[in-house]
Amino acid sequence: MKAIVQDRYGPADVLELRDIDPPRVGDDDVLVRVHAAGVDPGVWHLMTGLPYPVRLGYGLRRPRHRVPGMDLAGVVEAVGRHVTRFAPGDEVYGTGAGSYAEYALAPEHKLARKPAALTFAEAAAIPVSGQTALTAVRDAATVRPDQRVLVIGAGGGVGSYAVQLAAAAGAHVTGVCGPTKPDLVRSLGATDVIDHTREDITDRGVRYDVIVDTAGNRTLTHLRRALTPTGTLVLVGGEAATGRLLQGFDRQLRALLLSPLVGQRLIPLVAKESSENLDALTALVDAGRLRPVLDRSWPLAETADAIRHLRGGHARGKNVVLP
């Protein structure tokens, strides 16, 4: 099969298109013929091995999994003998290992049936970013009707879902984005938009009940100034920071230490991937309350360019790779 392969950590240049053997199906595995695979910041972290703590779980000197990619949508090709929820021919979406390939393995509990109204490309844009946003809005922040919610990075992958999920929960959503994305963010359900190139989140004097920060380039002190005294701050990644050791994730560690000492809840997000979360997202899609925002689709051979595009901060919503 055709697959993107990396033998060492590094920039997108380490990715190569090769012919390799398809993965072997274990007892608990689902083999999926991949029709589309999402591109998200997690792929960049695993590709580069940065920050260094990533390597503790994925290989100290070189990647343990040579084929990158997590998000996928496709058709079940084969199942292991312990799999009961899926059969060959089923259209599915979810997260697996090595989705930048014609075939990939996924555990049964991280797959769900693809929403019938979505294309494979649209479905592949949901699993990682959608479940991250769901965990942030529903579980960590427990957003309620009439709350004021600020989503920073509202035009990106996680942010575009967070805006929609908070709006679906009945909140008044303000989205922070760049100058090319206000119309997009409003179309997702934001009642107000802040262009971060012209205005700071504290300029209006508004205090928010919930802040979901997907951008990672503001200090805890700055974010807390825009939060009510008992508000909730959810930190999603640290993508805008540099440094090989923690690369912005030190902010999450400081939030853990500070949160018990202040009236505000400061939550470093740990996203949860499960069939149940995917089913919840599917229900919102079917009800017309959630839609994926596709920026671009890339052929498998141009996966490196797709990752560079994402890392450069150019994406409006999600990018997908088409094996």
Inside any domain, residue 156: yes
For residues 206 and 232, membership in a common domain is answered with yes
Would you say residue 256 lies in a domain? yes
Q: Is residue 282 a part of any domain in this protein? A: no
For residues 80 and 59, give the distance between their C-alpha atoms in angstroms, rounded to a whole number. 26
pLDDT tens-digit map of 103-123: 999 999 999 999 999 999 999
Tens-place pLDDT, residues 222-258 = 999 999 999 999 999 765 555 555 566 788 889 999 9
Residue 220: inside a domain: yes
Share of the chain above pLDDT 70, in %: 97
Contact 191, 173 (CB under 8 A): yes
CATH of the domain at 237: 3.40.50.720
* pLDDT tens by residue, 62-74: 999 999 999 999 9
Considering its fold, how many domains does the chain have in total? 2
Q: How confident is the model at residue 216 (pLDDT cuts 50, 70, 90)?
A: confident
- Kindly state whether residues 136 and 121 are assigned to the same domain: no
User: Which residues constitute the domain of residue 253?
Assistant: 129-268
Question: Is the backbone peptide bond immediately before 51 cis, with ω within 30 degrees of 0?
Answer: yes
The pLDDT tens digits of the residues spanning 133-182 come to 999 999 999 999 999 999 999 999 999 999 999 999 999 999 999 999 99
| Per-residue confidence band for 211, with pLDDT thresholds at 50, 70 and 90 | very high
Q: Residue 129: its pLDDT value, please?
A: 97
Q: Quick check: is 283 in a domain?
A: no
Whether the CB-CB separation of 76 and 86 falls below 8 Å is answered with: yes
**What CATH number does residue 45 fall under?**
3.90.180.10
153, 226, 241 from 231: Cα distances, Å: 19, 9, 24
